[in-house]
Amino acid sequence: MCGICCVVSLSSSQCTLHNHVYERLRHRGPDHSQDITREVSDPEYACLFSAHVLHMRGSPTPQPLQDDDGNLLLWNGEVFGGLTVQLEENDTKVILDHLSMCKSPSDVLSILGQVKGPWAIIYYQKEEHCIWFGRDFFGRRSLLLSWGSDQSSFTLTSVSSRSLGVGSSNCLEVPAVGVYRMDLKSWSKTNNLKVEVYPWGYLDSDFSWEGLPGSISFVKTDSGLVLSPRVPPMNMSITGVEPKSCQSGQTSTDNLKELLKRPGQQETVRCLIDVLGEAIRRRVEHLPDRSNPNGAQVAVLFSGGIDSMILAVLADRYVPLDQPIDLLNVAFKLQESKMNQGSGKKGRKKEHDDVAAKLRPRFDVPDRITGRDGLQELASLSPSRKWNFVEINVTQEELRDKRAENICHLVHPLDTVLDDSIGCAMWFAARGTGFVSEGAGERQHRSTAKVVLTGIGADEQLAGYSRHRVRFKSSGLQGLVEELAMELGRISSRNLGRDDRIIADHGKEARFPYLDEDVVSFLNTLPVWEKADLSLPRGFGEKLLLRLTAVELGLGPSAVLPKRAMQFGSRIAKLENSREKASEKCTRLSSS
């Protein structure tokens, strides 16, 4: 993961980067920082390229990387497939070698379209006076566009800061609907910055560019060129549904084992294990040497729920057995007053509850409890692995401080209550500072893992959310499959840019195995009824395919846990005003 940034301006005096943004970029790439400026007189413009590298593979490659013709590349990504990158090679170098040879826009698109893996890119073509930028098909890496009040300079950056300008209206996430080409020559001549959009194949690229200043316009290319996505469209077929001979009300792992015996079922499950296992292998292998020889290189954002359990079990196959794996489990402290707010219980019962609440450790939130159970399951499946179950306890004071200091800038330009809760929970979890139980006591633990695996994408693809049940009830399988296709399309703007900014702030890299191109391709070819059966009860029917996979992998009770969203599982939502709506604008983000 890296922090990349480019400021373009019509006058060199305005071609500067705010300290505050520079510092945030450095958090993302603590291993090497470098700035390059270009001042061009005909046509007249200036560019500042600022790159901050987190070293993940090959030998460290300083960025911005230049070729012999003066083209410049800023690459925040990982090539996990598509283009060949030898083990000891820099993927940044490989990408630039390919781009240097491009003669036309269609060449550039064909290179970027081939890459499998997450990326955000800024590429300056000297001869053409243009800048290419964009994000991968799912938008797994952040890229923001912001502008100053006078509109004579624009900034592309991995992360920004709330404190610049008023409100969020001068900053937006670059939509992951395609790649973009910015023509600096015509800008310099006309004062109007024209950005051409080359869309991803079948994606709906009719994005509404609200809030843009008048001097910038985005237009879909009239060349007809598109990028070909590496994943096929979702299978929308709802015919041929196979009835499940499962009586409702039976929701145990034994029932899952029964379902696994249906014809063809085990093959599907094994295919998923192969493709997901391979995605995880590519994400945990060949990491740079550890700074601490006893520390973990790989961590999992861990609630003990089925998505994170499967990540842990499969990571266990590919992480060398002499290395620990960190399981990062976050909990927010319940306030005394909130703990006692019962449902108006009176008398002895209430007294009894109060005493029980006092005795209960205040960090024993739902995810902590399922996390501990999950740890037991993992320890019995793989007893010789050292599993560090990292208990990350966050107090309200610390939450307030870190939100004001860091998190509100990282979430920006997103701004809802939900962005705030998930952003905060994820920031503390990914930081990985907490305690690990040892015998009767506990010791301080600071995770050294640079790779953080997260389960995002499982619920969106396998119908894990309660809104999927609502949709299924109201409009059946047809409604459900439409909902899933829509959600996968908007996952970049809802989650991924934000999650990348949050996790990268610790100099760590978020990796999303459920959003690997091959995993999504496999899931997209399956009909919806293979992924979930929402006529079956909660904790069983949603993500049914994943539950069957868990059983096949030897997991027990965690296979039938119902979904609990991070903001509830970690109890951060309880800590704050519980009456506010998730989609409301969060006042805590702007007042801090």
Catalytic positions, written as ranges: 2
Report if residue 93 touches ligand NAG, rule: CB under 6 A: yes
The number of beta carbons lying within 10 Å of the beta carbon of residue 414 is 21
Q: Which of residues 62-81 bind ligand NAG (CB under 6 A)?
A: 62, 65
Spell out the SS3 assignment of 1-16: CEEEEEEEECCHHHCC
Contacting residues for 555 by C-beta, under 8 A, at least 6 apart: 306, 309, 310, 313, 377, 381
- Residue 7's alpha-carbon distances to 15, 72, 131, 153, 180, in angstroms, are 6, 13, 11, 7, 16
Nearer to ligand NAG, 15 or 96 (CB): 96
Of 152, 188, 221, 235, the residue at the interface with ligand NAG (CB under 6 A) is: 235
- Output the smallest distance, CB 10 to ligand NAG, in A: 31
Report if residue 90 touches ligand NAG, rule: CB under 6 A: yes
HSE at residue 83, side-chain half, CA atoms within 13 A, is 23
- Output the smallest distance, CB 240 to ligand NAG, in A: 5
- Output the smallest distance, CB 237 to ligand NAG, in A: 4
Where does 320-455 show beta strands of DSSP type E? 325-332, 387-394, 433-438, 441-446, 451-453
Nearer to ligand NAG, 242 or 254 (CB): 242
**Cβ 407 vs Cβ 157: under 8 Å:** no
Rounded Cα distance, 248 and 237, in Å: 25
- Output the smallest distance, CB 264 to ligand NAG, in A: 10
The number of beta carbons lying within 10 Å of the beta carbon of residue 559 is 26
Window contacting ligand NAG (CB under 6 A); options: 57-65, 139-147, 151-159, 469-477: 57-65
Which two structure tokens, joined as six digits, stand for 436? 């690990």
Rounded Cα distance, 464 and 565, in Å: 10
Helix (H) or strand (E) holding 410: helix 408-411
Of 393, 421, 461, 492, the residue at the interface with ligand NAG (CB under 6 A) is: 393
> What type of residue sits at position 267?
E
Of 223, 237, 340, 466, the residue at the interface with ligand NAG (CB under 6 A) is: 237
- Output the smallest distance, CB 94 to ligand NAG, in A: 8
- Output the smallest distance, CB 419 to ligand NAG, in A: 26
- Output the smallest distance, CB 70 to ligand NAG, in A: 15
Nearer to ligand NAG, 62 or 201 (CB): 62
Q: Pairing relation of β-strands 451-453 and 509-511?
A: parallel
b/e map 299-322, b = 16+ CB within 10 Å: bbbbbbbbbbbbbbbbbbeebeee
Point out the residue whose Cβ comes nearest to ligand NAG. Answer: 363
- Output the smallest distance, CB 396 to ligand NAG, in A: 14
Of 107, 364, 398, 401, the residue at the interface with ligand NAG (CB under 6 A) is: 364
Nearer to ligand NAG, 334 or 453 (CB): 334
Rounded Cα distance, 300 and 510, in Å: 10
Window contacting ligand NAG (CB under 6 A); options: 88-96, 381-389, 401-409, 542-550: 88-96
Q: Which of residues 527-546 bind ligand NAG (CB under 6 A)?
A: 527
Rounded Cα distance, 448 and 462, in Å: 32
Report if residue 37 touches ligand NAG, rule: CB under 6 A: no
Q: Which of residues 323-362 bind ligand NAG (CB under 6 A)?
A: 331, 361
Report if residue 478 touches ligand NAG, rule: CB under 6 A: no
Alpha carbon 427 to its chain centroid, in Å, reads: 12
Report if residue 58 touches ligand NAG, rule: CB under 6 A: yes
Window contacting ligand NAG (CB under 6 A); options: 15-23, 83-91, 181-189, 565-573: 83-91
Report if residue 288 touches ligand NAG, rule: CB under 6 A: no
- Residue 245's alpha-carbon distances to 41, 333, 529, 532, 544, in angstroms, are 74, 44, 14, 14, 14
Rounded Cα distance, 530 and 533, in Å: 8
- Output the smallest distance, CB 54 to ligand NAG, in A: 15
# chain residues binding ligand NAG, by CB under 6 A: 23
Window contacting ligand NAG (CB under 6 A); options: 100-108, 234-242, 272-280, 308-316: 234-242
- The H-assigned helical ranges of 31-132 are 91-100, 105-114
Nearer to ligand NAG, 180 or 363 (CB): 363
The number of beta carbons lying within 10 Å of the beta carbon of residue 264 is 9
Nearer to ligand NAG, 70 or 361 (CB): 361
Nearer to ligand NAG, 170 or 447 (CB): 447
Of 42, 69, 88, 438, the residue at the interface with ligand NAG (CB under 6 A) is: 88
Binding mask 416-435 toward ligand NAG (x if CB under 6 A, else -) reads: -------------------x
Window contacting ligand NAG (CB under 6 A); options: 87-95, 259-267, 531-539, 565-573: 87-95
Nearer to ligand NAG, 240 or 243 (CB): 240
- Residue 379's alpha-carbon distances to 79, 214, 313, 450, in angstroms, are 33, 59, 10, 23
Nearer to ligand NAG, 61 or 168 (CB): 61
Binding mask 240-259 toward ligand NAG (x if CB under 6 A, else -) reads: x-------------------
Residue with tokens 């709906």: 204
Of 391, 499, 500, 552, the residue at the interface with ligand NAG (CB under 6 A) is: 391
Report if residue 398 touches ligand NAG, rule: CB under 6 A: no
Nearer to ligand NAG, 61 or 71 (CB): 61
The number of beta carbons lying within 10 Å of the beta carbon of residue 342 is 12
**Cβ 216 vs Cβ 147: under 8 Å:** yes
Report if residue 363 touches ligand NAG, rule: CB under 6 A: yes
HSE at residue 569, side-chain half, CA atoms within 13 A, is 22
Which two structure tokens, joined as six digits, stand for 451? 């790779």
Report if residue 525 touches ligand NAG, rule: CB under 6 A: yes
Report if residue 264 touches ligand NAG, rule: CB under 6 A: no
Rounded Cα distance, 426 and 18, in Å: 26
Residues of the shown chain interacting with ligand NAG in the complex, contacts defined by CB under 6 A? 58-59, 61-62, 65, 88-90, 93, 235, 237, 240, 331, 361, 363-364, 368, 391, 393, 435, 442, 525, 527
